[in-house]
Amino acid sequence: MTVVRDVPKQLFIGGRWLDAESGRTLPVDNPATGEELCQVADASPADGRRAVEAAVAAQAAWAATAPRVRSEILRRAYDIIIARTEDLALLMTLEMGKPLAEARAEVAYAAEFFRWFSEEAVRIDGGMMTAPDGKNRLLVTRQPVGPCLLITPWNFPLAMGTRKIGPAIAAGCTIVLKPAPQTPLASLALAEILTEAGLPAGVLNIVTTTDAAGVVEPLLRGERSEMGVPPAGGWGKIRKLSFTGSTQVGRILLAQCADTVIRTSMELGGNAPLIVFDDADLDVAIEGTMVAKMRNMGESCCAANRIFVHTSVAEEFASRLAARMAALKVGPGTEPGTDVGPLIDIAGRSKAHDLVRDAVKRGATVLTGGELPEGPGCFYPPTVLTGIAPESAIIDTEIFGPVAAIRTFETEDEAVAAANDTEFGLATYLFTQNLDRALRVSERLESGMIGLNTGLVSNPAAPFGGVKQSGLGREGGRVGIDEFLEYKYIAVPVG
């Protein structure tokens, strides 16, 4: 495949493509076939330090670069990404599995973060006020937080990168990006694009590795002596961690950041409820559920994980949803007409299947799917379960697969209590035609984002993020850039 062949396979440090110091490489596999696509450099902790040194060295000059210049680099990168949609989409389909149509949609979504933040780069403002005593003037300005470590998951290989890189570049921060080892190619392709768009050497550095814990921990704990003396300008080590991934890993990283009091943004796991009230338009609810459940094969932090349907419409909803799910075409994402690609790996598929088997053992009914297919690849059939017993593991576990688990409720209070009964709080979906109810329930839900009569909440212009153990901070929207800026206040006495 030329798209795979053409992507650089080395580490990107200080504007140069370099082998890992150890010479080691890691395999990138195609989940549709189980076959290896290529090998990329497998960084050691020493490579991680080299990348941080490059980011630290570039920080002062980058922070001093005119906002308009930063803005135009992002805007050019946006244009290049859009022009290369087909190649980038195919690359993601090959390394991650999603159908080409979804990969193309991700390219557009990912690129939009660059366009959005190119527009935000020139709107970083401050303020000035008279202090309450009338004497002092208070000047408030904002500055880049400094070199950032960005860690991304495999499920949206391009968009999870641009959602962090866009605001970091706009704010004037330098970057070390550590993509997921399953899907490094989209990030490596992005480095080439940003270079072509004029990003100076050292502003973006990329470290691919199978030893995430070994590479990342020393960078966060801040072994400054090992990293050498900071250059003139006084930039230190990593000043900010922006992480997207599981809550489990997020907790480990937060603890590591506590050591050196590093600022963090955490986009963590979800366990999204989807509520269908008796006054919902069922056509809209089923369409929305298909999107909320099946986008990205269910491998999304926002995927509907727990579906609650009012008893009066539950049977019709379940049978119509099962019919839609059964009609989906499962196959390699590169094949025309494929609706559902493979899951990321065999472990991901086993997790989904184990949750289905556990639910069935406790009394659930399978309306469609539920059987492991024969043959190569990590495919799993679209599955609909009803009659889920409360003690089933599927209720509290992020499924990350094409499995819809339906439960019923009688009252609004019961639905809200069930939806909130989780340590997560990322996305929730509501289907109702009653505006009073929509607003009342939305206000009571412990959730960072709510899809009202829609199964899609992601939008680069909106603040994406969760409450409770789904995370800290927001990405995108007007506030996305704030995560990469520090306030500085200057007191000015006036005589």
Nearest partner of 355 among 345, 366, 344, judged by Cα: 366
Q: Which of 45, 153, 387, 401 is close enough to bind ligand NAD by CB under 6 A?
A: 153
267 catalytic per annotation: yes
Q: Which of 107, 268, 415, 449 is close enough to bind ligand NAD by CB under 6 A?
A: 268
| Of residues 244 and 338, the one with the C-beta less far from ligand NAD | 244
Nearest partner of 319 among 369, 370, 367, 371, judged by Cα: 367
Cβ-contact 120, 134 below 8 angstroms = no
Task: Output the CA–CA distances (angstroms, integers) from residue 324 to 100, 195, 278, 420, in the order listed.
Answer: 20, 44, 20, 28
For residue 27, give the amino acid letter: P
| Of residues 62 and 464, the one with the C-beta less far from ligand NAD | 464
Whole-angstrom distance, CA of residue 447 vs CA of residue 275: 13
- CA torsion 242-246-248-251 (nearest 10°) is 20
Whole-angstrom distance, CA of residue 179 vs CA of residue 165: 12
Q: Which of 193, 216, 355, 394 is close enough to bind ligand NAD by CB under 6 A?
A: 216
Q: Which of 270, 332, 333, 476 is close enough to bind ligand NAD by CB under 6 A?
A: 270
Stretch touching ligand NAD by CB under 6 A, among 71-79, 139-147, 245-253, 381-389: 245-253
Nearest partner of 158 among 185, 118, 197, judged by Cα: 185
Which structure tokens are listed for 142?
A: 């904002």
Site for ligand NAD in 166-195 (CB under 6 A): 178, 180-181
Site for ligand NAD in 393-422 (CB under 6 A): 398
**Sequence-separated (6 or more) residues with CB below 8 Å from residue 46:** 21
Q: 């688990």: which residue's tokens?
A: 405
List phi, psi (to 5°) of 285. -65, -40
Residue of 53, 112, 267, 299 marked catalytic: 267
Size of the site for ligand NAD (CB under 6 A): 27
Indicate whether 350 belongs to the interface with ligand NAD (CB under 6 A): no
Indicate whether 147 belongs to the interface with ligand NAD (CB under 6 A): no
Whole-angstrom distance, CA of residue 174 vs CA of residue 357: 47
Query: What x-and-dash track marks residues 76-115 binding ligand NAD by CB under 6 A?
Result: ----------------------------------------
Q: Which of 471, 473, 476, 477 is close enough to bind ligand NAD by CB under 6 A?
A: 471
Indicate whether 245 belongs to the interface with ligand NAD (CB under 6 A): yes
Site for ligand NAD in 282-341 (CB under 6 A): 301
| Of residues 22 and 210, the one with the C-beta less far from ligand NAD | 210
Alpha helices in 330-432 (DSSP H): 346-361, 412-420
Q: Which of 111, 212, 238, 325 is close enough to bind ligand NAD by CB under 6 A?
A: 212
Indicate whether 254 belongs to the interface with ligand NAD (CB under 6 A): no
Stretch touching ligand NAD by CB under 6 A, among 94-102, 109-117, 246-254, 402-410: 246-254
Indicate whether 155 belongs to the interface with ligand NAD (CB under 6 A): yes
What is the maximum span of the chain, computed from C-alpha positions, in angstroms? Answer: 82
- CB nearest ligand NAD: which residue? 245
Cβ-contact 417, 253 below 8 angstroms = no
Q: Closest distance between ligand NAD and the C-beta of residue 302, in Å?
A: 8
Which structure tokens are listed for 33?
A: 């076939």
Q: Which of 58, 292, 426, 481 is close enough to bind ligand NAD by CB under 6 A?
A: 426
Indicate whether 244 belongs to the interface with ligand NAD (CB under 6 A): yes
Indicate whether 213 belongs to the interface with ligand NAD (CB under 6 A): yes
Cβ-contact 178, 215 below 8 angstroms = yes
Whole-angstrom distance, CA of residue 193 vs CA of residue 190: 5
Nearest partner of 172 among 429, 493, 485, judged by Cα: 485
Chain residues binding ligand NAD by CB under 6 A are 151-155, 160, 178, 180-181, 212-213, 216, 244-246, 249, 252-253, 267-270, 301, 398, 426, 466, 471
**Which amino acids are annotated catalytic?**
267
